[in-house]
Amino acid sequence: MTDSVDLAPIRDAVRALCADFPGEYWRALDRERAYPDKFVAALTKAGFLAALIPEEFGGSGLTMTAAAAIMEEIQASGCNGAACHAQMYTMGTLLRHGSPDQKARYLPAIARGELRLQAFGVTEPTSGTDTLALRTTAVRDGDAYVINGQKIWTSRAEHSDLMLLLARTTPREQAEKRTAGLTVFLVDMRAVQGLTVRPIRTMMNHATTEVFFENMRVPAEAVIGREGEGFRYILSGMNAERILIAAECIGDAKWFIGKAAAYAGERVVFGRPIGQNQGVQFPIARAYIGMRAAELMVREAATLYETGNDCGAEANMAKQLAAEASWAAADMCVQTHGGFGFAEEFDIERKFRETRLYTVAPISTNLVLSYIAEHVLGLPRSY
Ligand SMILES: Cc1cc2nc3c(=O)[nH]c(=O)nc-3n(C[C@H](O)[C@H](O)[C@H](O)COP(=O)(O)OP(=O)(O)OC[C@H]3O[C@@H](n4cnc5c(N)ncnc54)[C@H](O)[C@@H]3O)c2cc1C
């Protein structure tokens, strides 16, 4: 599919960078569950992770469509943008709701790659998707807040300087409305005490962690926007997250489809290429159709986003369709490769594990469906 604006130079540049990080690089890291430092450094140096930071703050000031193209190409090249995708979108909360001082202090340093804002602390073990039930508290004490509680699945916390953290500042029963009483903090993890980060080993190499706060003091100026308004600020950043992760899924699907089509054309069994059999062709064609349909929704969501329109429904649908398309393509790719689909050196099993995440995170299928049912179709709220 051609882009409506010419993104070819950006796509070519991402592909060229990714060519230096072939399958062997990712396989070696995967075995050790090690972080792709060199890859992330290269993306940062090239300015790709600062794509959405406006030029006035030293970023490239690109559109959401261009940012999505960057993430898509990373995945379509066989690399894994999950190691750093949050650097691209987490800063949006700071950009939209931070004070002029906060923006001037952090955004240029993030754009230059001197500060890493990769950690996003929302999910907790007991509340799960029910964000308003989170239990981490921040209590004002003079010119500081004292934070106690726990987060889970705080990805890349070990590879970040800053963490965007959501905590409760007003007890739930005292909050003036259901969605009030949560506050966003930009925590400088290098400067605090009482913070413990523990890695969680997962089915793929994702550098995710659980994080504990024990009387962790953060200065009052770490608050982003107004106290108690944090839930709204976090929600406002989620459309960008969904669109970019949807674009990653499109890239994954393209990678799986390309691999499968190539293999089906060259693997000869019973005296002919397996791809000559409709039983092998059709699943590849079906995966392609699913990917293309999802790609259209990702583009629509990105266009709505960058033109300042409401894109909640489209961002959710894009994430859902793209995550389903990449997972269907992953399954098809394994099947097309037969036994070799399970061999590490083909990278398929690694990408298969990596792309599985996206029907669960950053938001799970059922929650997308209930959003559409309630907010688009007007059905009664189910939870
Ligand atoms: C590898 C990884 C990285 C992550 N990175 C981050 C991160 O950096 N920062 C962060 O804050 N979070 C992160 N997450 C958390 C992620 O966003 C959540 O796992 C995801 O939103 C699902 O929440 P949960 O795991 O608490 O599931 P739960 O909320 O416990 O839900 C479990 C299942 O029940 C379903 N369910 C729950 N309630 C309902 C309902 N009312 N109706 C129908 N079905 C329902 C859900 O759809 C889901 O399938 C990450 C997760 C993973 C696995």
Asked if the bond preceding 9 is cis, omega within 30° of 0, the reply is no
pLDDT range class, residue 58, cuts 50, 70, 90: very high
As a whole number, mean pLDDT of residues 301-324 equals 97
pTM value? Answer: 0.97
Instruction: Place 4 in a pLDDT band, splitting at 50, 70 and 90.
Output: confident
pLDDT tens-digit map of 187-234? 999 999 999 999 999 999 999 999 999 999 999 999 999 999 999 999
120 CB near ligand 1 (under 6 Å) = yes
- The answer to whether the CB of 373 is under 6 A from ligand 1 is no
**Residues with catalytic annotation?**
241
Query: How many whole angstroms from 23 Cα to the centroid of ligand 1?
Result: 29
**Ligand 1 atom showing the smallest separation from residue 382 Cα:** 41
pLDDT of residue 245: 98
347 closest CA partner among 33, 16, 19, 27: 27
Please, which pLDDT band fits residue 148 given cuts at 50, 70 and 90? very high
The CA 371 to ligand 1 mean position distance, Å, reads 15
Confidence (pLDDT) at 3: 79
pLDDT score of 2: 74
Residue nearest to atom 34 of ligand 1 (CA): 366
The domain spans of the chain are 8-112, 117-228, 232-376
Q: Per-residue pLDDT for 5 more than 80?
A: no
* CA atoms within 13 A of residue 146's CA, in its CB half-sphere: 6
Residues 6+ apart with CB under 8 A from 191: none
Distance 363 CA to ligand 1 centre (A): 6
CATH topology (fold) of 117-228: Butyryl-CoA Dehydrogenase, subunit A; domain 2 (2.40.110)
Per-residue pLDDT tens digits for 61-117: 999 999 999 999 999 999 999 999 999 999 999 999 999 999 999 999 999 999 999
Q: How much distance in Å is there from the Cα of 22 to the middle of ligand 1?
A: 31
Residue 163 near residue 189 (C-beta atoms within 8 A): yes
pLDDT at 63: 97
**pLDDT confidence of residue 383:** 87
For residue 183, list its beta bridge partners: 167
Cβ of residue 355 lying under 6 Å from some atom of ligand 1: no
- 232-376 — its CATH code? 1.20.140.10
Query: Could you give the CA distance from residue 344 to residue 73 in angstroms, rounded to a whole number?
Result: 22
> Distance of CA 274 to CAs 197, 290, 337, Å?
49, 22, 10
Q: What whole-number percentage of the chain has pLDDT above 90?
A: 98
360 lines ligand 1 (CB under 6 A): yes
Judge whether 117-228 and 232-376 match in fold.
no
Tell me which fold the domain 8-112 belongs to: Butyryl-Coa Dehydrogenase, subunit A; domain 1 (1.10.540)
Angle of CA points 359, 294, 117, to nearest 5°: 55
**If you take atom 50 of ligand 1, which residue's CA is the nearest one?**
153
CA angle 154, 157, 163 (to 5 degrees): 85
Pocket probe mutation, ligand 1, options 151, 197, 364, max atoms within 8 Å of Cβ: 364
Q: Report pLDDT digits (tens) over 332-361.
A: 999 999 999 999 999 999 999 999 999 999
Q: Which residues pair with 208 in a beta bridge?
A: 200
